[in-house]
Each structure stands twice: as C-alpha cells, then as structure tokens.
Amino acid sequence: MEINEILEYLPHRYPFLLVDRVLEMEVGSRVLALKNVTMNEPFFPGHFPHRPVMPGVLILEALAQAAALLSFKSAGQKRDDNSVVYFAGIDKARFKRPVVPGDQLLLECSITRSMRNIYKYQAIARVGDELAAEAELMCAIKSLS
C-alpha cells in the first residue's frame, strides 16, 4: 500500500501522518508498515537540539496509525467524514532503543482480539533487527454521526 492509498484510509496529514508505506498486510491478522525518519521532522529541533530523538509517544502514534489501517481494512471500510479510529488503550509500553534521523522504523501490529469495531494489538517498532518499542494497543472505530 503506497501513500495515496494510505491517505484514503487515514485522516492524518502532514505533519502528523506517520506511516509512509505498508509493506505487508494480512487483513484480519497483521500489518507491517514503514516510517522513514528524517531530520526534517518538525519535532527534532525541540527534541533534542543537541541529540535529535523521535519522541516515544510519536512512535506509539505511528504504531496506532498502522493499526488503524489494519482496523479499517479488516472492517471492510474506508475512513470517511463520519468515522475515525481512536486509541482506546495503551498497555505495557516499553522503549528499548532511541529512534534517530536516518532510521527506517518498521511498524508491526498483530490483532490479538477483535470484537465489533474494537481491536486489540500486539505492536512492535523496530529499526532493522533491533527492537525500538513495544506495546499492547487497543483501537476503536467510532462513528461520528
């Protein structure tokens, strides 16, 4: 899935779109997505000027966006002005390695449970073979109308 299709599913736009490409997707099961981390990211000048590091909360957000793509695909729907995927929970978040400019962040989310429009994921962010972060995420597709 390339960027134009990602934009059909996610409401996020620059500077908050944190998924550049989907490398693999097994609908109803798992997704592997990619975020190219560049020095041009708007958060690096302030986090931290002397040693730029991607904020952990944004790594979790990138994982949630990858999970949202899988949620919409698994539910057989695209985003529209009447629906959005929200975080419903974050558990057991751990950060193992800093993510810095030049890294390619691999975002892997596997569905561990789903009920109606609520999905629970095991989420892992890696740089190459190194674990950068992991968490259990819960996302819900909500109708706004």
Residues with a catalytic annotation lie at 47
Q: Which of 58, 56, 62 is nearest to 22 (CA)?
A: 62
Residue with tokens 């962040």: 105
Identify any residues that bridge with 106 across adjacent strands, giving them in sequence order.
34, 126
3-state secondary structure 12-48: CCCCCCCCCEEEEEECCCEEEEEEECCCCCCCHHHCC
